[in-house]
Amino acid sequence: MIFGRGKVRYNNPYTMKDVEGFSYLTTRIKYPAWIDERILSEGLDNLDIPSVSEFIINKMSDVFSLEGLLKSKWFPDLPISIDVKDIIPEIRSRIPSDGTEITDWMHDSSADNAILQAFEDEYNKYSEIRTGSNDPASPGLVVVNTRFYGGQPGYTVNSRGYALGRAPIGEFRAPNRRGTILIGENYIGWAGVNAWGGYQWTGKLAQWIRLAATPITSRIRFPNLGFGPMPNFFVQMPRGATERVTVTMAVSSSTSQNISIAFRDPNNYSRVLDEAVINVGAGQFEIVYTIASYPAVPPVVVEAAPRVNTVLDRFVVE
Amino acid sequence: MFYNFDEKIGNVYPTRMALPDWFGTLSIDTFNRIKKLVIVAAVDEINVVGDYNENDLLNSEVYNEPATLDYDAVLSWANQNIPIEEPDVLEWMVEATALNAYMWARAREYARAGSLFVAASGDPYIPGVRIEDLYFTKETGNAVATKGYCVIVTPQGKFNCSVPGKRTITTKNILAWAYSLRAYIKQWLGGILKFKDIAINPSSRIGFVNMGGLVAPLFIGHQPSRRAFRNIVEMSITTDKAQTVTVTGRAPTDYSVSYFSFKANLREGQNVIKYKIRGLFGVPPMVIEIQPQDQTKTALDYYKVYP
């Protein structure tokens, strides 16, 4: 489906109502003028994504660098980081726990928010994502339409192994000490849980409002909030109606790893069109592949899930 | 349906309002004429039609706090349910939980009316409070209390808010509200509310955010079903005590431009207020800001526009 008119056209309306009748923001893709309903139906049916053996992987550099990433506006004097463990000690030394006003979870949450805020600024050059970190038990955590239930002490979450929350797709269970993708036909979110033995714990949430589309030419980190990088979603958008495109995704990786890629239907994000696992070493790599379809290559949502600290350097479609 | 602003303008994520299709068919020249000369002659009548009640209010669903406009009752619930005896639970968190629960309950009522505001309360020093691209600068409670104000950063500049106190942020395309309630030595309590998508002619009940007595304005959309030179408005507001509410009509193309503003004296109970809006070239859709007095429990029951 195409919503909107003139040059302002999207795959989903701005807001929809969930099953209980409450309004929520959908995750949207902005469509250029050349996209029509036929490309979104036949183009997807005829899509030919190559097998992973046909992906070309070029090593560009041995260096894993954070150059070009943005600083957190909140903590402008903190070093740029994509991993909370690099900045928690610094925040803890600046604002020590005192047992009366400051406790340890606040440092973790503050570090999450410093990295998430800078990440939002990087991603939002192209689109809109919203994120947050806090203790969901008290004072609570809601990000746009995605929330953890309060009243779940950290020791309960830790012992039963998951936290409960609610998103426009319904109630969700997010396993402890990892991140979970929340995905529906027209909504994409993410929930991270870090609970130990105490009452307080840190929850992290993200909700994609509008997906970043190619060409992406400035760097975007994959935030690591303590249990591996958060996945990210992009739109692989051809520049015009064409039957064949070459896609180049450049990433920098801190160490050798497998990056999982899922190609998702822009008409229904929960529908996976194809998947691939790509091995890259430490340093900067270009992943190049060709996609064909008839009558034209449609836009496709690309979910990228690295396993170690990673930065997206560039993502273009020619 | 189309909107008054794109989702992103430069580095700003605007507060958006859906506009009726008939409005989009007007020429720029007609629109420029329409946006001038919009007046409210007077409030025609205010009738008390019922007692104060809290029917059809929601709770946050994040917590199981009571569905009420009584902030003290929500704070009392938090005091009973957040275990202050736990070593890592501190006093400010209990009140922040109550503030969030209250805000998010009103956000659910706003979502029930078909739209969205986003809000958060907490300690702006650590872990910090931010809503989208609005956030408090990181200062200790002692620092903001000594200065007498805190600072909210937005893509369109910085705004000061007294401590304790509140601040309505009305720029060309952002409608938001911030407050600070209480400052300790390092920690302090503050929150930000940003209207993301304006509720149009809401027909279900929406409570006004009341953060420890500081009452936020509510922004709703006035949307005529067709172009007319006169609109009749009927809105119902329920209040727990007699008060004066301020009603302001704001331009959908620039929220900082007000078409009109008037005060309405309400008595305790459910007040049905009727007034007319006239436009020399037609009454455009607009944003209506309703600001109750502090220390009141107030709800908008509905807002109707004829035609």
- Structural tokens at position B1: 């349906």
Cα dihedral sign for A52, A55, A61, A63?
negative
- Output the pLDDT for position B86: 87
Whether B119 contacts B132, CB under 8 Å: no
pLDDT in tens, A90-125: 999 999 988 788 888 899 999 999 999 999 999 999
- Whole-angstrom distance, CA of residue A316 vs CA of residue A212: 12
Centre a 10 Å sphere on the Cβ of residue A275 and count the other Cβ atoms it contains.
Answer: 13
Q: Record the tokens describing residue A20, joined without a space.
A: 């209980």
Judge whether B26 is closer than 8 Å to chain A, CB to CB: no
The partner residue sitting opposite A138, judged by closest CB among B16, B93, B135, is B93
Residue B71 φ then ψ, to 5°: -60, -40
* Length of chain B measured in residues: 307
Residue B32 is predicted with a pLDDT of: 65
Distance CA B307, CA B305 (A): 6
What percentage of chain A has pLDDT greater than the value 70?
A: 99
* B27 band by pLDDT with thresholds 50, 70 and 90: low
CA B123/CA B138 separation, integer angstroms: 9
Closest CA to B279 of B304, B307, B302: B307
Structure tokens belonging to residue A95: 């604002």
Query: B208-247, pLDDT tens digit by residue?
Result: 999 999 999 999 999 999 989 899 999 999 999 999 999 9
Which pLDDT band, with edges at 50, 70 and 90, does A8 fall under?
confident
Which residue of B90, B115, B194, B197 is the best one to mutate when testing the A interface, meaning the one whose CB has the most A CBs within 10 A? B90
**pLDDT tens figures, A259-296:** 999 999 999 999 999 999 999 999 999 999 999 999 99
Cα-Cα-Cα-Cα torsion A207, A213, A214, A219, nearest 10 degrees, comes to -30
Instruction: Check pLDDT > 80 for residue A5.
Output: no
- Would you call B190 an interface residue with chain A, using a CB distance cutoff of 8 Å? no
Q: What is the mean pLDDT of chain A?
A: 95
Q: What is the pTM of this model?
A: 0.96
Q: Which residue has the tokens 């007007």?
A: B26
DSSP A76-110: TTSPP-SBGGGTHHHHHHHS---SSS--HHHHHHH
pLDDT in tens, A34-68: 999 999 999 999 999 988 889 999 999 999 999 99
Mutate to test the interface with A, among B65, B88, B203 (most CBs of A within 10 A): B88
Least confident segment among A50-59, A175-184, A229-238, B57-66: A50-59
Confidence bin at B29 (pLDDT 50/70/90):
low
Identity of the residue in A13, A138, A209 whose CB atom sits nearest the CB atom of B97: A138
C-alpha gyration radius of chain B: 20
Q: For residue A102, give every residue at least 6 positions away whose Cβ sits within 8 Å of its Cβ, in sequence order, or none.
A: A95, A96, B126, B186, B187
Quote the percentage of chain B above a pLDDT of 70.
95
CA gyration radius, chain A: 20
Which pLDDT score, from 0 to 100, does residue B25 have?
A: 67
Separation in Å, CA A149 to CA A181, B70, B101: 17, 22, 11
A21 Cβ partners below 8 Å, 6+ apart?
B112
Q: pLDDT band at residue B284, thresholds of 50, 70 and 90?
A: confident
Q: For the segment B171-219, what is each residue's pLDDT rounded down to a tens digit?
A: 999 999 999 999 999 999 999 999 999 999 999 999 999 999 999 999 9
**Which chain B residue has its CA at the smallest distance from A21's CA?**
B112
Whether residue A295 is preceded by a cis peptide bond, meaning omega within 30 degrees of 0, is yes
Model confidence at B41, in pLDDT bands (50, 70, 90)? low
CB-CB under 8 Å, A134 with B88: no
| Domain spans, chain A | 46-63+212-317, 84-209
DSSP state of B253: T
pLDDT higher for A61 or B23? A61
CB contact under 8 A, B116 and A23: yes
In terms of Cα–Cα distance, which of A189, A127, A41 is closest to A315? A127
Residues 204-233 of B with CB under 8 A from A: none
pLDDT, position B69: 98
Q: Tell me how far apart the alpha carbons of residues A266 and A253 are, in angstroms, rounded to a whole number.
A: 28
Q: Give strand pairing partners of B234.
A: B274, B304
Would you list the domain boundaries of chain B? 36-52+201-306, 71-197
Q: DSSP per residue over A141-172, as a string? A: -EETTEEE-SS--HHHHHHHSEEEEEETTEEE
CATH pick for B36-52+201-306 out of 2.60.120.260, 1.20.120.1200, 3.40.50.300, 2.30.110.10: 2.60.120.260
For strands A212-213 and A232-236, give the pairing. Answer: parallel
Task: Enumerate the residues of chain B whose CB falls inside 8 A of the CB of residue A19.
Answer: none
Res B282: pLDDT: 81
How confident is the model at residue A3, as a pLDDT? 87
Q: Does pLDDT of B79 surpass 80? A: yes
CATH class of the domain whose range is A46-63+212-317: mainly beta
For residue B1, is pLDDT > 90?
no
What ranges in B170-252 are assigned the alpha helix state H? none
Query: In the block, which residue shows the tokens 């250029």?
Result: A32
* Minimum distance, in Å, between the CA of residue A168 and any CA atom of chain B: 12
Q: Does residue B89 sit in helix, strand or coil?
A: coil
Q: In degrees, to the nearest 5, what angle opens at C-alpha A272 toward C-alphas A54 and A249?
A: 45
d(CA A247, CA B260): 54
Mean pLDDT of chain B: 93
Contact state of B90 with A100 under an 8 Å Cβ cutoff = yes
Give the nearest chain A residue to B1 (CA atoms): A4
Chain A contact for B90 (CB, 8 A cutoff) = yes
Q: Answer whether residue A32 shows pLDDT above 90.
A: yes
The answer to whether B220 touches B200, Cβ cutoff 8 Å, is: yes
